[in-house]
């Protein structure tokens, strides 16, 4: 028998995908994490309003210190801060350059810095909210606020994220073996975008239409929409007979993305 | 005893349809009774369940359907329906939320819902899973979750549409235990199924439907009329040309652990193979490994003469029919669909035409050549998808759960097509499934994937 | 879309249509997440965002369809922390949806016409930047600088949004030809 080539083991290929973007929940324990989402929203709104109203350099400096304190009180690291602020730093550079072009070199610097700093301070409380609030807490808050029909649509759409992510992968696999150019590198070539549309998007959309049929049937079979209102049961309080509580695992939702 | 379900002379015609989907159906189901409805695809089984549940709106109906016993509890639903596809009927992210969904819709007080969730999950043996997300469940567990989500609405009658179709052996046993318990508690069960074998233990009546009408009602399950089972014949493997070889293949997932452990397999040209394994045994992972979509931690793969293949290298050499192959259809005509791979292989027009017509003829869908594949029936779409992967006459054809959703005559037909393919082209065919084949004599070899390794049966 | 369900959502969409629109939002999230990790080109997420916004409207020929897609996508993005704007993300998705619905009101065959989709896609993608401009206005940025910044920031949005929108008619026509939508 002819010798077979050895395939080098791939350590990372089968790992679940790790989210690499900023503003994602950081699972540590901190006073900010323990604060309710409502309180964080209130505090954030106040800080945002201060950022909009503050033109005085001393006020801005104070706000910067407060926001930095808020950020690090949440036990978030400098590296995470850098990742979160990366976009704002680029934006800051653009804004300062535009101000300098408008007002000249030394005169345009402070207005540029002031304006971009206010933008940064406007967004930072919201970033801290995202970093310190679990998806499940967000979902719980949303369910209390949103009308039940909208909440149903949002949460059903959320539930089907991993389902359709799997469908995309499997349809792509099937079509690649048939000869469609759907490998990631191949998709960088615009000539292969027709395959993306015909061989992947179209079947996916057809599948989604069929799944919408089935999901609608499932909802209606369980009396959704039969009454003008529906009751609300908080699954976070659920304890089964062995005392385990129900909590949606945030990582499982994120891992599918 | 008063019937829980009484259907009298019920007929239904879908809007715009040429004929009735249900024709003069009369049927009764008593509390604690299980009635199994069977028949070929398209005979009206699912329509019957939808009619009982009251989910048919736009057609023309006549006759009566009465569900429920006078004096039953008012804060429940008289009939609960579990659809065929567990995945698409689950609407919530968390298990407990899914079970609570129905009672919430019924405006059951929140303080009562928790108890209902607990009871329903216990009834299906998922009480330890209430805190999990749905994605963590196996297919069998999802099927049981779907039942729990209906049980929490406290129905008297349960309607189940092909509940075992996607389950492996252990999954079916667990499900049947649950159904037996429900029956013993006084629930009435109306189940549609193709595979009646597992239901012998719990079904009291078997109803056979044909063209929308009831053909037969018996105490015993009707036998499938199968073609005469013969040992696979025709070109056999010479044992010389190797078409697939994997040596010491190991694959592990983070969190799940090792799926394949030093797996070894060699397939020769022209073999018919049944690769059998329970759900979660690693069958799909194995297929993805050998076709280059997954890189194993260690081991060697050679397929169709290509070592360490990439998927793009397998065009024309390896065909792969995925589960639910209807998902891959997209062209405007059946001809275009089946010729897709051949065009990518840069075959000339004459050869494309010839191979397409040969493939369509083999799959008995040549009369559909100009039709849109997206408008065909489920079984026809299945055969068109099959034709599209065998048109290139591959050396190796892999089929992942090819019988899902097909009735038994359609399954036998598929086996016949695959045998014919082997005779004509010498193609090695591998059927991967969690169930035994309709024809136990079809395969030259049966390989069992268990604990990450393959044994020959 | 054809629908056989009785339940209506806000007396406008039947349940099947509403869930389908939700799935359009699901696809926006999936493609946004996938592209964010792979490409570092600003504005590229608008390609699929505009595609699915207009596709949703094309399949469900009712006022508010695109807005609903945007609303669901915005809420999901907010919950998943997929943008720095937090709850303001909702506006960033809803505004293009409103533009699409308004355009469809003026031209009912929007989803079947490539030029119309390209124009509407470009405008809607540009309007997505309105949230950022609103914040810039609040912090009293000079108007001309605000406009220049908007131009720099939204150019790629517009290009990708227009490109994604252009694909919609090709899909919608085929879905209609196969009888999958009404």
Inspect the interface and report whether the beta carbons of A177 and B87 lie closer than 8 Å: no
For the segment B63-92, what is each residue's pLDDT rounded down to a tens digit? 999 998 655 544 456 899 999 899 999 999
Chain A contact set for B102 (CB, 8 A): 222-223
Q: Indicate if A94 and A134 belong to the same structural domain.
A: yes
Which residue in the set B56, B58, B372 is minimally distant from C178, CB to CB?
B372
Map residue B194 onto helix, strand or coil: coil
For the segment B15-34, what is each residue's pLDDT rounded down to a tens digit? 888 999 999 999 999 999 99
Chain A contact set for B122 (CB, 8 A): 241
Give C124 to chain B, closest Cα distance, Å.
Answer: 29
Chains in contact with A via at least 3 Cβ–Cβ pairs below 8 Å: B, C
Domain's final residue, options A97, A122, A145 = A145
For the segment A73-114, what is each residue's pLDDT rounded down to a tens digit? 999 989 888 888 888 888 889 889 999 998 888 888 888 999
Give DSSP secondary structure letters for B105-121. Answer: HTT--HHHHHHHHHHHH
Query: Could you tell me which residues come within 8 angstroms of residue A74 by beta carbon, excluding any fewer than 6 positions away?
Result: A26, A28, A30, A31, A32, A33, A128, A131, A132
- Which residue did the predictor score with more confidence, B404 or B340? B340
Q: What percent of chain C has pLDDT over 70?
A: 91
The pLDDT assigned to B394 comes to: 95
pLDDT at C143 over 50: yes
Distance separating alpha carbons of residues C86 and C83, to the nearest angstrom: 6
Which helix (DSSP H) or strand (DSSP E) does residue B433 occupy?
strand B428-433
Q: Which residues pair with B445 in a beta bridge?
A: B273
Which residue in the set C4, C177, C180 is minimally distant from B58, CB to CB?
C4
Which residue in the set C4, C5, C180 is minimally distant from B374, CB to CB?
C180
* Contact predicate B13/B21, CB 8 Å: yes
* Contact predicate C166/C117, CB 8 Å: yes
Name the residue ranges covered by the structural domains of chain C.
12-177
pLDDT at B387 over 60: yes
Does residue A77 sit within a domain?
A: yes
Which helix (DSSP H) or strand (DSSP E) does residue C104 occupy?
helix C89-106
Inspect the interface and report whether the beta carbons of C7 and A226 lie closer than 8 Å: yes
Give C103 to chain A, closest Cα distance, Å.
Answer: 23
* Through-space distance between the first and last CA atoms of chain C, rounded to whole angstroms: 5
* Contact predicate B211/B43, CB 8 Å: yes
Which residue in the set B57, B332, B372 is minimally distant from C6, CB to CB?
B57
Between the alpha carbon of residue A179 and those of residues A7, B330, B382, the distances in Å are: 23, 14, 19
- In chain A, whose CA is at the least distance from the CA of B341? A178
Count of C-beta atoms within a 10 Å radius of residue B254: 10
Give A92 to chain B, closest Cα distance, Å.
Answer: 40
Q: How confident is the model at residue C8 (pLDDT cuts 50, 70, 90)?
A: low
- Which residue did the predictor score with more confidence, B1 or C178? C178
Burial (CB count <10 Å: 0-12, 13-18, 19+), residue C161:
buried
Distance separating alpha carbons of residues A194 and A172, to the nearest angstrom: 14
Q: How confident is the model at residue A159 (pLDDT cuts 50, 70, 90)?
A: very high
The pLDDT assigned to C2 comes to: 46
Q: Indicate if A49 and A127 belong to the same structural domain.
A: yes
Inspect the interface and report whether the beta carbons of B133 and A253 lie closer than 8 Å: yes
Q: Indicate if A137 and A179 belong to the same structural domain.
A: no
Distance separating alpha carbons of residues B412 and B428, to the nearest angstrom: 18
Pairing mode, strands B5-13 and B22-29: antiparallel
Give A131 to chain C, closest Cα distance, Å.
Answer: 8
Question: What's the full length of chain C, in residues?
Answer: 182
Contact status of A30 with chain C (Cβ, < 8 Å): no
Output the CATH code of domain C12-177: 1.10.1760
String of b and e for B65-100 (b: at least 16 CB within 10 Å)? bebbbeeeeeebbbbbbbbbbbbbbbbbbbbbbbbb
pLDDT at B167 over 70: yes
Q: How confident is the model at residue B318 (pLDDT cuts 50, 70, 90)?
A: very high
Q: Indicate if A189 and A86 belong to the same structural domain.
A: no
Measure the CA dihedral C115/C121/C126/C129, to 10°: 180
Q: Indicate if A183 and A104 belong to the same structural domain.
A: no
* Contact predicate B226/B408, CB 8 Å: yes
Q: Indicate if A41 and A94 belong to the same structural domain.
A: yes
For the segment B170-193, what is each residue's pLDDT rounded down to a tens digit? 888 889 999 999 999 999 999 999
Which one, of C70, C75, C57, lies nearest residue C12 by Cα? C57
For the segment A92-103, what is each residue's pLDDT rounded down to a tens digit? 898 899 999 988
Which residue in the set B55, B56, B375 is minimally distant from C178, CB to CB?
B375
Cα A84 from chain centroid (whole Å): 13
pLDDT at A3 over 50: no
Q: What is the mean pLDDT of residues B353-358?
A: 96
Chain A contact set for C87 (CB, 8 A): 126
Give DSSP secondary structure letters for B49-100. Answer: HHHHHT---SSEEEEEEEES-TT--SSS-SEEEE-S-HHHH---SBHHHHHH
Distance separating alpha carbons of residues B119 and B226, to the nearest angstrom: 43
Q: Indicate if A102 and A207 belong to the same structural domain.
A: no
- Residue to test with chain A: of C3, C6, C9, C19, most A Cβ within 10 A: C19
The DSSP letter of residue B444 is S
Does residue A245 sit within a domain?
A: no
Domain's final residue, options A99, A114, A145 = A145
For the segment B189-202, what is each residue's pLDDT rounded down to a tens digit? 999 998 888 888 89
pLDDT at A240 over 60: no
Q: Indicate if A21 and A132 belong to the same structural domain.
A: yes
Q: Indicate if A37 and A83 belong to the same structural domain.
A: yes
Q: Indicate if A210 and A170 belong to the same structural domain.
A: yes
Give DSSP secondary structure letters for chain A. Answer: -PPPPPPPP-TTTTSPPPP--SS-------HHHHS-HHHHHHHHHHHHHHHHH--SHHHHHHHHHHHHHHHHHTT--HHHHHHHHHHHHHHHHHHHHHHHHHH-HHHHHHHHHHHHHHHHHHHHHHHHHHHHS-HHHHHHHHHHHS-HHHHHHHHHHHHTHHHHHHHHHHHHHHHHHHT---STTGGGSGGGHHHIIIIIIHHHHHHHHHHHHHHHHHHHHTTTTSSS------GGG-B-TT-PBP---HHHHHHT-
Counted across chains A and C, CB pairs separated by less than 8 A come out at: 176
Map residue B179 onto helix, strand or coil: helix
Q: How confident is the model at residue B225 (pLDDT cuts 50, 70, 90)?
A: low
Inspect the interface and report whether the beta carbons of A213 and C16 lie closer than 8 Å: yes
Q: Indicate if A23 and A130 belong to the same structural domain.
A: yes
Does residue A5 sit within a domain?
A: no
Contact status of C48 with chain A (Cβ, < 8 Å): no
The pLDDT assigned to A254 comes to: 52
Distance separating alpha carbons of residues C159 and C163, to the nearest angstrom: 6
Q: What is the mean pLDDT of residues C122-137?
A: 87
Does residue A126 sit within a domain?
A: yes
* Contact predicate B190/B159, CB 8 Å: yes
Inspect the interface and report whether the beta carbons of A7 and B308 lie closer than 8 Å: yes
Which helix (DSSP H) or strand (DSSP E) does residue B139 occupy?
helix B139-151
pLDDT at B2 over 90: no
Does residue A35 sit within a domain?
A: yes
Does residue A240 sit within a domain?
A: no
Contact status of B155 with chain A (Cβ, < 8 Å): no
Chains in contact with B via at least 3 Cβ–Cβ pairs below 8 Å: A, C
Distance separating alpha carbons of residues B124 and B175, to the nearest angstrom: 8
pLDDT at A4 over 50: no
Inspect the interface and report whether the beta carbons of A178 and B341 lie closer than 8 Å: yes
Distance separating alpha carbons of residues B102 and B404, to the nearest angstrom: 28
Which residue in the set B77, B85, B96 is minimally distant from A246, CB to CB?
B96
Pairing mode, strands B428-433 and B272-276: parallel
Distance separating alpha carbons of residues B1 and A133, to the nearest angstrom: 57
The number of distinct structural domains making up chain A is 2
- In chain A, whose CA is at the least distance from the CA of C139? A52
- In chain B, whose CA is at the least distance from the CA of A255? B135
The pLDDT assigned to B211 comes to: 92
Chain C contact set for A19 (CB, 8 A): 33, 37
pLDDT at B270 over 70: yes
Does residue A244 sit within a domain?
A: no
Distance separating alpha carbons of residues A142 and B215, to the nearest angstrom: 52
Q: What percent of chain A has pLDDT over 90?
A: 35
Inspect the interface and report whether the beta carbons of B103 and A231 lie closer than 8 Å: yes
- Residue to test with chain C: of B14, B93, B372, B377, most C Cβ within 10 A: B372
> Among B18-22, C8-12, C52-56, C100-104, which stretch is predicted with the lowest mean pLDDT?
C8-12
Q: Indicate if A50 and A131 belong to the same structural domain.
A: yes
Which residue in the set A177, A240, A252 is minimally distant from B127, CB to CB?
A240
Contact status of B320 with chain A (Cβ, < 8 Å): yes
The whole domain housing A201 covers: 160-222
Chains in contact with C via at least 3 Cβ–Cβ pairs below 8 Å: A, B
Contact status of C150 with chain A (Cβ, < 8 Å): no
Contact status of B166 with chain A (Cβ, < 8 Å): no
Query: Could you tell me which residues come within 8 angstroms of residue B200 by beta carbon, excluding any fewer than 6 positions away?
Result: B221
Q: How many CA atoms lie within 13 A of B257 on its CB side?
A: 5
The pLDDT assigned to A54 comes to: 78
For the segment B437-455, what is each residue's pLDDT rounded down to a tens digit? 989 899 999 999 988 888 8
Chain C contact set for B58 (CB, 8 A): 4
Domain's final residue, options A120, A145, A170 = A145
pLDDT at B57 over 90: no
């Amino acid at each position: 028998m002819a010798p077979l080539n050895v395939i080098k083991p791939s350590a990372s290929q089968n790992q679940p995908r790790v989210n690499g973007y900023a503003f994602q929940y950081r699972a540590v324990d901190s006073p900010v994490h323990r604060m309710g989402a409502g309180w964080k929203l209130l505090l954030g709104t106040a800080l945002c309003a201060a950022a909009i109203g503050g033109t005085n350099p001393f006020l801005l400096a104070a706000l910067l210190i407060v926001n930095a304190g808020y950020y690090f009180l949440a036990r978030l690291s400098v590296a995470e801060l850098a990742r979160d602020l990366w976009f704002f730093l680029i934006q800051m550079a653009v804004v300062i350059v535009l101000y300098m072009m408008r007002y000249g070199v030394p005169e345009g610097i402070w207005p540029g810095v002031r304006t971009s700093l206010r933008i940064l301070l406007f967004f930072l409380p919201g970033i801290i909210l995202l970093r310190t609030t679990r998806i499940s807490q967000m979902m719980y808050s949303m369910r209390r606020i949103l009308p039940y029909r909208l909440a149903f649509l949002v949460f059903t759409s959320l539930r089907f994220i991993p389902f359709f992510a799997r469908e995309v992968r499997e349809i792509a696999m099937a079509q690649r073996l048939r000869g469609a150019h759907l490998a990631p590198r191949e998709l960088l070539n615009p000539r292969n975008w027709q395959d993306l549309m015909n061989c992947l998007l179209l079947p996916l959309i057809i599948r989604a239409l069929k799944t919408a049929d089935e999901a609608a049937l499932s909802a209606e079979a369980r009396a959704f929409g039969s009454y003008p209102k529906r009751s609300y049961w908080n699954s976070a309080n659920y304890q089964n007979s062995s005392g385990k509580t129900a909590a949606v695992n945030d990582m499982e939702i994120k891992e599918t993305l | 005893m008063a019937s829980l379900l009484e259907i009298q002379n019920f007929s239904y015609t879908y809007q715009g349809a040429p004929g009735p989907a249900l024709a003069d159906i009369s049927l009764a189901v008593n509390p604690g009774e299980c009635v199994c409805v069977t028949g070929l695809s398209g005979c009206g089984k699912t329509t019957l369940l939808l009619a009982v549940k009251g989910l048919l709106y736009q057609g023309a109906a006549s006759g009566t359907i009465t569900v429920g016993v006078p004096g039953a509890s008012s804060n429940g639903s008289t009939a609960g329906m579990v659809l065929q596809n567990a995945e698409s009927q689950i609407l919530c992210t968390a298990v407990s939320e899914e079970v609570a969904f129905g009672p919430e819709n019924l405006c059951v007080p929140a303080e009562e819902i928790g108890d209902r969730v607990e009871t329903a999950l216990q009834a299906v043996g998922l009480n330890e899973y209430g805190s999990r997300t749905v994605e963590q469940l196996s297919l069998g567990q999802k099927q049981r979750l779907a039942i729990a989500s209906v049980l929490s609405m406290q129905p008297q009658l349960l309607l189940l549409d092909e509940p075992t179709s996607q389950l492996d052996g252990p999954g079916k046993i667990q499900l049947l235990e649950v159904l037996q318990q429900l029956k013993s508690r006084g629930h009435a069960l109306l189940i549609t199924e193709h595979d009646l074998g597992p239901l012998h233990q719990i079904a009291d009546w078997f109803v056979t439907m044909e063209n929308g009408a009831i053909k037969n009602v018996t105490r015993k399950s009707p036998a499938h009329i199968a073609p005469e089972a013969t040992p696979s014949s025709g070109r056999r493997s010479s044992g010389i040309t190797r078409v697939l070889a994997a040596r010491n293949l190991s694959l592990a997932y983070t969190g799940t652990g090792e799926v394949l452990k030093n797996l070894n397999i060699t397939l020769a040209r022209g073999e018919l193979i049944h690769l059998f394994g329970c759900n979660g045994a690693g069958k799909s992972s194995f297929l993805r490994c050998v076709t280059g979509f997954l890189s194993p931690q260690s081991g060697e793969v050679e397929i169709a003469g290509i070592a360490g293949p990439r998927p793009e290298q397998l065009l024309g050499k390896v065909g792969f029919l995925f589960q639910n192959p209807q998902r891959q259809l997209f062209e405007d005509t059946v001809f275009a669909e089946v010729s897709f791979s051949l065009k990518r292989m840069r075959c000339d027009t004459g050869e494309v035409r010839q191979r397409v017509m040969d493939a369509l003829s083999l799959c008995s869908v040549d009369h559909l050549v100009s039709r849109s594949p997206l408008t065909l029936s489920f079984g026809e779409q299945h055969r068109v998808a099959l034709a599209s992967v065998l048109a290139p006459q591959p050396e190796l054809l892999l089929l992942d759960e090819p019988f899902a959703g097909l009735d038994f005559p359609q399954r036998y037909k598929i086996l016949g097509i695959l045998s014919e393919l082997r005779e004509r082209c010498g193609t090695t065919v591998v059927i991967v499934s969690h169930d035994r084949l309709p024809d136990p004599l079809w395969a030259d070899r049966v390989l069992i994937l268990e604990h990450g390794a393959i044994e020959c049966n | 879309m054809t629908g056989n369900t009785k339940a209506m959502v806000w007396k406008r969409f039947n349940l099947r249509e509403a869930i389908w629109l939700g799935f359009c939002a699901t696809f926006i999230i999936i493609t946004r997440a996938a592209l964010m990790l792979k490409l570092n080109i600003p504005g590229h997420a608008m390609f699929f965002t505009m595609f699915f916004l207009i596709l949703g409207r094309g399949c469900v020929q009712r006022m508010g369809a695109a807005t609903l897609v945007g609303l669901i996508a915005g809420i999901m993005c907010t919950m998943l922390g997929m943008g720095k704007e937090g709850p303001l993300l909702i506006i960033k998705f809803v505004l293009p949806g409103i533009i699409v619905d308004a355009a469809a009101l003026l031209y009912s065959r929007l989803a079947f016409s490539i030029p119309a989709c390209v124009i509407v896609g470009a405008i809607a993608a540009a309007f997505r930047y309105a949230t950022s401009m609103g914040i810039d206005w609040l912090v009293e940025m000079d108007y001309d600088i605000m406009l220049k910044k908007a131009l720099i920031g939204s150019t790629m949005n517009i290009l990708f949004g227009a490109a994604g929108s252009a694909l919609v008619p090709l899909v919608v026509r085929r879905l209609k030809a196969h009888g999958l939508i009404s």
